[in-house]
């Protein structure tokens, strides 16, 4: 049986799976909410737009333990979302990670959308495009930045400790399978126990995961033509 | 006040006088032909009027040069003609219809009869072929576009005949598979014109298409303009290059200070202008 200190394969696989599940779901949810927000804010000029973008940027610096505390209060039995009985579940962790990843995703993708030159929007319009066609063209042109936004949000989610510890509870069953323990919270447990080597091994796995996700994203981002510079 | 020459018809530059402009009926055989006209256009932005009381028209099978110094409102005029925005005053007519009186769906259909290329680099970050076929794709139904996108995942088709024809018109078919980002400025401008030509528009608007280009690319673009005219397309060219206007256009409208002050057959406007400011401008003595 594979083992590294107190680690066994079942434990390792399950905490990795929980990390991937919670982070991927949180980023998917953030993308579903955040990309339409980026397009809506990026496409329109409206009164107070600079305030909205400032608020979004500020959200990138939300302290994760504060977010965890707010989600804990919201999901607790007497909180507004208490009836859903989500506290100390992976879904509660998804919620808190979504709140943390959303501002990162919106802010970076908004910047990408706004950086698409007006000339290209005009060209799409002049070629007979409707407003929907122009919006799709902008998403396509901003794909590099949008993928970067997804990767940044994923990085924020998978490296999260404070809030998932608070709302997830760091729970492992007696058969060593994880319910709400992630790679990051497992590292804190090992560090507290003084198992530095085990913590470093878990950290290496986490880094490998982040590297793998980034490599996949970069491969997708660079696959399409048109990014070889604008002119000779 | 616009100086209109006898026989130039309508407001400003109107019908062909038959002497310098090719006969539209002899060009673009079988093409219906569409007239683009502006009547009493006025438009401004926050800090005042950019255009005032501009009337002109471009007929099928002719090239109209709109000349004037930089910053005189040519680009604003062309954006109004291309229906980017509604003019503050006056009307834009395509084929006799006041475009802003039409329901939205018909206005889109009318807009799609106009092709436009810009002064600035405006190619999308994809291949030359995809740039040129963009106008064709957006005219297709959503189901057809989704089917094309799915089929595209399993391999690329050959460029359509329409794309090939448009690229050959500007001498760029040999670069059909190239990444648009790798083209030189002149090549990119030729591809932009091919993109405007691909859907076979009735009207082609070219806003300073050759500014800062080398003679070879300029010649290719001028050749494409003539080819479009010979196919019966109404071509309007905004330029501050007097020599280019003389070389390629059948008619010329001179805009100074946001107002069209003279228009008519190109030879007459350049050789015997009625307005003293136009004389000074074409002789290079009027500096704005």
pLDDT of residue B11: 42
Q: Is residue A158 part of a domain?
A: yes
Q: Please state the domain count of chain A.
A: 1
pLDDT of residue B285: 73
Q: Is residue A72 part of a domain?
A: yes
The HSE-up count of residue A189 (CA atoms within 13 Å, CB side) is: 15
Which of these, B87, B80, B90, lies nearest to B116 by C-alpha position?
B80
Which of these, B133, B87, B139, B132, lies nearest to B111 by C-alpha position?
B139
Contact B122 A230 (CB under 8 A): no
Read off the pLDDT of residues B206-227 as tens digits, 9 standing for 90 and up: 999 998 789 999 999 999 999 9
Q: Is residue B166 part of a domain?
A: no
Mean pLDDT across the stretch A196-214? Answer: 93
Q: Higher-confidence residue: B15 or A65?
A: A65
Q: Is residue B19 part of a domain?
A: yes
Supply the DSSP string of B126-167, one letter for each residue: SBHHHHHHHHHHHTS-HHHHHHHHHHHTT-PPPPPHHHHHHH
Of residues A119, A130, A228, nearest to B120 (C-beta) = A119
User: Does the CB of B212 have a partner CB in chain A at under 8 Å?
Assistant: no
Read off the pLDDT of residues B45-59 as tens digits, 9 standing for 90 and up: 877 788 999 999 999
Specify the DSSP class assigned to residue B209.
Answer: T
Question: How long, in residues, is chain A?
Answer: 232
Beta carbons within 10 angstroms of residue B30's beta carbon: 5
The torsion defined by the Cα of A135, A138, A143 and A149, in degrees rounded to 10, comes to: -80
User: Does the CB of A232 have a partner CB in chain B at under 8 Å?
Assistant: yes
Where residue B153 falls among pLDDT bands split at 50, 70, 90?
A: confident
Sort strands B89-94 and B48-58 into parallel, antiparallel or unpaired.
unpaired
Q: Is residue B131 part of a domain?
A: no
For residue B86, the SS3 value is: coil
Beta carbons within 10 angstroms of residue A37's beta carbon: 16
pLDDT of residue A44: 82
Residue B16: pLDDT above 90? no
Q: Is residue A111 part of a domain?
A: yes
A chain contacts of residue B115, beta-carbon cutoff 8 Å: 126-127
Read off the pLDDT of residues B70-127 as tens digits, 9 standing for 90 and up: 888 999 999 999 999 999 999 999 998 999 999 999 999 999 999 999 999 899 999 9
Among all residues of chain B, which has the CA nearest to that of A140? B125
Domain that holds residue A93: 7-117+144-221
Distance CA A187, CA A203 (A): 7
**Residue B182 token pair:** 């790798």
**Residue B214 token pair:** 């080398």
Distance CA B34, CA B41 (A): 20
Q: Is residue A1 part of a domain?
A: no
Distance CA B92, CA B101 (A): 10
Q: Please state the domain count of chain B.
A: 1
Q: Is residue B176 part of a domain?
A: no
Specify the DSSP class assigned to residue B179.
Answer: B
Q: Is residue A58 part of a domain?
A: yes
CATH code, A206:
1.10.3720.10
- Shortest CA gap B122–chain A (Å): 5
Of residues B82, B122, B185, nearest to A120 (C-beta) = B122
Q: Is residue A132 part of a domain?
A: no
pLDDT of residue B22: 42
CATH code, B59:
3.40.50.300
Which of these, B184, B125, B275, B108, lies nearest to A144 by C-alpha position?
B125
Distance CA B262, CA B255 (A): 8
**Residue B185 token pair:** 């400025």
Chain-centroid distance of CA A165 in Å reads: 17
Of residues B135, B139, B179, nearest to A226 (C-beta) = B179
**Residue B207 token pair:** 């806003």
Mean pLDDT across the stretch A33-55? Answer: 90
Q: Is residue B57 part of a domain?
A: yes
Residue B28: pLDDT above 50? no
Q: Is residue B27 part of a domain?
A: yes
Which of these, B268, B205, B257, lies nearest to B68 by C-alpha position?
B257
What was the ipTM of the complex prediction? Answer: 0.86
Of residues B134, B181, B182, nearest to A127 (C-beta) = B134
Q: Is residue B268 part of a domain?
A: yes
Stretch 110-139 of chain B: residues touching chain A, C-beta under 8 Å: 111-112, 114-118, 120-127, 134-135, 138-139
Q: Is residue B151 part of a domain?
A: no
Domain that holds residue B218: 3-125+182-282
């Amino acid at each position: 049986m594979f083992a590294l200190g107190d680690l066994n394969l079942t434990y390792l696989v399950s905490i990795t799976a929980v990390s991937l599940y919670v982070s991927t779901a949180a980023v998917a949810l953030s993308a579903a909410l955040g990309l339409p927000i980026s397009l809506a804010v990026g496409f329109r000029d409206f009164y107070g737009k600079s305030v909205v973008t400032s608020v979004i940027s500020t959200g990138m610096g939300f302290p994760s333990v504060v977010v965890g505390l707010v989600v804990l209060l919201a999901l607790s039995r007497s909180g507004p979302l208490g009836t859903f009985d989500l506290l100390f579940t992976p879904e509660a962790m998804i919620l808190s990670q979504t709140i943390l990843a959303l501002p990162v995703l919106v802010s970076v993708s908004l910047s990408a959308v706004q950086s698409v030159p007006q000339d290209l929007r005009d060209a799409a319009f002049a070629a007979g495009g409707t407003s929907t066609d122009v919006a799709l063209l902008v998403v396509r042109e901003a794909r590099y930045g949008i993928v970067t936004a997804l990767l940044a949000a994923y990085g924020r989610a998978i490296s999260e400790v404070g809030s998932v510890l608070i709302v997830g509870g760091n729970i492992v069953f007696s058969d060593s399978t994880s319910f709400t323990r992630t790679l990051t919270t497992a590292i804190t447990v090992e560090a507290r126990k003084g198992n530095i080597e085990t913590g470093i091994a878990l950290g290496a796995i986490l880094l490998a995961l982040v590297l793998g996700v980034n490599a996949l994203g970069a491969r997708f981002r660079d696959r399409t033509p048109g990014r070889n510079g604008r002119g000779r | 006040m616009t100086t209109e020459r006898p026989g130039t018809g309508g407001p400003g530059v109107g019908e062909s006088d038959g002497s310098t402009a090719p006969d539209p009926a002899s060009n673009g055989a079988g093409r219906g032909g569409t007239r683009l006209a502006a009547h009493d256009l006025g438009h401004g932005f926050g800090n005042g009027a950019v255009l005032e009381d501009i009337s002109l028209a471009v007929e099928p099978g002719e090239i109209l040069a709109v000349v004037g110094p930089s910053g005189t409102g040519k680009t604003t005029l062309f954006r109004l003609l291309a229906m980017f925005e509604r003019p503050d005053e006056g009307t834009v007519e395509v084929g006799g219809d006041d475009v802003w009186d039409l329901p939205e769906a018909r206005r889109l259909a009318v807009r799609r009869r106009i092709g436009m290329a810009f002064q600035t680099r405006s190619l999308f970050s994809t291949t030359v072929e995809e740039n040129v076929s963009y106008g064709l794709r957006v005219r297709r139904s959503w189901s057809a576009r989704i089917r094309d996108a799915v089929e595209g995942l399993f391999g690329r088709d050959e460029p359509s005949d329409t794309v090939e024809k448009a690229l050959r018109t500007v001498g760029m078919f040999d670069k059909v598979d190239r990444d648009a980002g790798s083209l030189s400025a002149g090549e990119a401008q030729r591809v932009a014109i091919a993109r405007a030509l691909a859907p076979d528009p009735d009207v082609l608007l070219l806003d300073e298409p050759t500014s800062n280009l080398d003679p070879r690319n300029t010649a290719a673009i001028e050749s494409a303009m003539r080819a479009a005219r010979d196919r019966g397309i109404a071509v309007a060219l905004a330029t501050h290059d007097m020599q280019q206007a003389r070389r390629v256009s059948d008619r010329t409208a001179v805009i100074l200070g946001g107002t069209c002050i003279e228009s008519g057959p190109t030879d007459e406007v350049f050789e015997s202008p009625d307005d003293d400011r136009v004389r000074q401008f074409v002789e290079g003595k009027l500096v704005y």
